[in-house]
Structure 1
Amino acid sequence: MEIQHRAELCFPHLLNISCRKPVLHWSEVVFRNAVLSFISFVTVVLNLLIIISISHFRQLHTPTNILLLSLAVSDFLVGLLLMPLEMYRNTACWFLGDIMCVLYCYLVTHVVCASIGNIILISVDRYIAICDPLHYTTRISTAKAKCLVCLCWLWYALYSMFYLKDELIEPGRSNSCTGECTLIINYVIGTLDLILSFIFPVTIIIVLYVKVFVVAVSQARAIRSHITVSTLQYAVPLIAKSDLKAARTLGLLIVVYLVCFCPYYCYSLIEVNFSSTHATFVIFLFYINSCLNPLIYALFYPWFRKAISHIVTLQILQPGSCEELL
């Protein structure tokens, strides 16, 4: 009987402090991991295509695309690291130790928060492009976009240290036994994170997009009413069709973001332990946003589809391909 009990433990030699192995039916594990592995693979491939496209073709080196590149990097890391580690954490004993558990939690917080920050920057960029197009080129440049991206990643690196300060000081403090990787955040820090990482960003994004939507609708009505360009410039600044399309894309991006992120933060209001089955579901829904973002680009950005064609056919390996117009 004791031998059977030891066989059920993650660390049989640590009889009194070892966790039990997760009890899951093999068919459930195979099906769930197969689906999640496919989503992880698609997330990595699609975001890698965006990274290669924007990095390779000089025509795509615009402020907006620099922000999209930063978002693609964070989404790429979600698919490459966070999704596989989350699958491992929920289907097997955690044999990587408390230090690696803390690093994983830190990586989750940093990458996901940086993704939120990138969406805020994209919203601000589209707001200026739509609501103040005459001054867009003077206010937003490629160099400024790169600087903002670096500040975004640096800020959330420091924020993640504050969010996980207890775990960083005492790794494994949230674990009830050896062989698991859990994160329990106290209500004060959890409430502060809810405000800084969700309520505040969502408020900014929605307010900016409502203003963008109002201006875009005014522009569309003016065009349908056949108002002359000279009159239009005094009433509503003339907006390029590409900017209007970018505004619609931003709207869809925000809707998908809210659908994927709301369940996670709603769950965090009622539960501090993210180790249950329900927590696993909201976490993966949280991560699936990283897979949907590049699909939105593929649907609405012709340059992305053309860039994929150049990459798949290996045309980017030809001399001077970075100068080609897409």
Structure 2
Amino acid sequence: MGETELCFPQLFNTSCWKPKRPLSETVFINSLLSFISLLTASLNLLVIISISHFKQLHTPTNLLLLSLAVSDFFVGLLMSFQIVLTNGCWFFGDPMCVLYSSLDYIITSASVGTMVLISVDRYVAICDPLHYSTKVTVRRVSVCISLCWSCSFLYNSLILRDNLIQPGQFNSCYGECVVVIDNFIGTVDTILTFVGPVTVIIVLYMRVFVVAVSQARAMRSQIAVIFQHQQTVRAKRSEMKAARTLGVVVVAFLTCLCPYYCSSLADQNSLFSVMSVALEIWLFYLNSCLNPVIYAFCYPWFIKSVRLIVTLKIFQPHSCLIDMFSILDNSDFLPLVGPHSSSFAP
């Protein structure tokens, strides 16, 4: 009792207890996590603005990246609530607890669904390149993204219905934030939101890797001098570069998610308390900060768009028509015509 204190001292009989930490430790942890939260939200907001504003980036692949950035942006905002939980108490009431937990579940499911769509997109682009432009269109990708988010919302509202109907019914004391999921539903949820999607992602990317290697060998042995063939080789290289980049994104995603879900599978207790600030939870959140960093290293258009956003050049007339794949100069503000409008997203 000497190393703990009440969350709400005025409610001695019903208040939860929290661990007592040194002030220096509390300030350090809160500052570090606040920085990660702010960085995550800011970087993903830059991705959202970039893809939304510049018309040349309105490609099927980039729309999937936009969906992923939206989910990562909301994760950055949700981190601020998790920071509050580092002190061991929930101060926002039971309705906000259920809302926070529901959004966390919805965003996680939408992120996993988007990763599956990204894997399918790269699979079609590499394994069936001749029909990619007809099979994967902006309209179809937009519909798939909308279905992904809608299904995530409906599905998680269903599995959390008991908590939504009566918020706080499973709390053991005042100042606690707990959601309860039935054991059977929890098992099904793990299969649907982790085991199944991860299996699909791994299988598709193994196939992409095999085909990409075979195409690279074929290109090295059959390079021709005619211009048309050079354009074809350049297109294939662009698609494979996109596959490699998004492969890094997928690997980082799986690396950050696996510890969280593995610990959930190992723990047979269906009582999940968001009060716990385990390392795997923050590793799970950290993935949302890694994606924009990966884009910065692998996508030249992202660096260029950040420069334009930071320097406020996006507010200039016709800035949405800037050629994102040329060297940053005054010619960027020419309208996109001809071949510029068909440049590859990567």
C-alpha distance in structure 1 between counterparts of 2:16 and 2:149, whole Å: 36
Rounded to whole Å, the distance in 2 between the matches of 1:302 and 1:62 is 16
Deviation at 1:13, TM superposition (A): 4.1
Query: Aligned equivalents of 2:255 and 2:298: distance in 1?
Result: 20
Q: Which of residues 35, 40, 50 in structure 1 aligns to 2:37?
A: 40
- Letter matched to residue 107 of structure 2: V
Structure 1 distance, partners of 2:40, 2:187, is 30
Q: TM-score, structure 1 length as denominator?
A: 0.91
1:100 to 96, 100, 123: 96
How many aligned residue pairs are there?
317
For 1:183, what is the secondary structure of its paired residue? strand
The one-letter code matched in structure 2 to 1:102 is V
CA offsets 1:88-126 (integer angstroms, 9 cap, x no match): 123153221111100010010001111111111111111
For residue 246 of structure 1, report the CA deviation from its aligned partner: 0.7
Residue deviations 1:246-298, cap 9 Å, x none? 11012111211111001111111233444488752211111101000111111
**Cα separation, 2, equivalents of 1:133 and 1:276:** 45
Moved over 6 A (4+): none
CA distance in 2, matches of 1:58, 1:46: 20
Shift of 1:185: 3.0
Note if contact 1:94-1:181 (Cα within 8 Å) is conserved in structure 2.
yes
The 1:12–1:127 alpha-carbon spacing in structure 2 relative to 1, beyond 3 Å, is: same
Q: Which has the higher helix share?
A: 1
Contact 1:54 1:69 in 2 (8 A): yes
Is residue 323 from structure 1 mapped to residue 321 from structure 2 by the alignment?
yes
**CA RMSD of superposed structures (Å):** 2.4
Does 2:129 correspond to 1:133?
Answer: yes
Match of 1:178 in 2: 174
Say whether the 8 Å CA contact 1:43–1:76 is kept in structure 2.
yes
Distance 1:28 1:185 in 2: 33
* Secondary structure of 2:17 counterpart: coil
* Residue type of the alignment partner of 1:302: P
Preserved CA contact (<8 Å) 1:133 1:239: no
**After superposition, what is the alpha-carbon deviation per residue over 1:39-79, rounded to whole angstroms, capped at 9, x for unaligned?**
11111111011011011100011111111101100000000
Q: Provide, for residues 216-256 of structure 1, a one-character-per-residue CA deviation record: whole Å limited to 9, x for no partner.
A: 101111112236699xx9xx999522211111012111211
Conserved? CA contact 1:219–1:239, under 8 Å = no
Contact 1:123/1:205, CA 8 A, preserved across alignment:
yes
CA distance in 1, matches of 2:218, 2:23: 61
In structure 2, the residue matched to 1:263 is 259
State the partner residue of 1:190.
186
Who is 2:336 aligned against?
Answer: none
Partner of 1:165: 161
**8 Å contact kept, 2:48–2:69:** yes
User: C-alpha distance in 2, partners of 1:251/1:179?
Assistant: 42
**Aligned residue for 2:290?**
292
* Aligned counterparts of 1:323 and 1:311: Cα–Cα separation in 2: 14
DSSP-derived class of the 1:93 partner:
coil
Q: Which amino acid is the alignment partner of residue 26 of structure 1? A: L
Contact 2:88 2:275 in 1 (8 A): no
Q: Kindly state the Cα deviation for residue 204 of structure 1 after the two structures are TM-superposed.
A: 0.6
What amino acid does structure 2 have at the position aligned with 1:320? H
Is 166-175 or 251-260 further displaced after alignment?
166-175
> CA distance change for structure 1 residues 19 and 46 in 2, over 3 Å: closer, same or farther?
same
Work out the CA distance in 1 between the residues paired with 2:16 and 2:277.
Answer: 19
Q: CA deviation at 1:166?
A: 2.3
Whether 1:59 aligns to 2:56 is yes
Bigger shift: residues 17-26 or 256-265: 17-26
Q: Equivalents in 1 of 2:305, 2:240: separation in Å? A: 22
| CA spacing shift, 1:57–1:69, aligned 2, 3 Å | same
Q: Percent identity?
A: 57
Q: Which amino acid aligns with 2:323?
A: L
Aligned residue in 1 for 2:115: 119
The normalised TM-score by structure 2 is: 0.86
* Conserved? CA contact 2:85–2:275, under 8 Å: no
Change (3 A) 1:28 1:265: same
Contact 1:133/1:237 (8 A) holds in 2: no
The aligned counterpart of 1:250 is: 246
1:26 aligns with 2:23: yes
Between the aligned partners of 1:276 and 1:45, the Cα distance in structure 2 is: 24
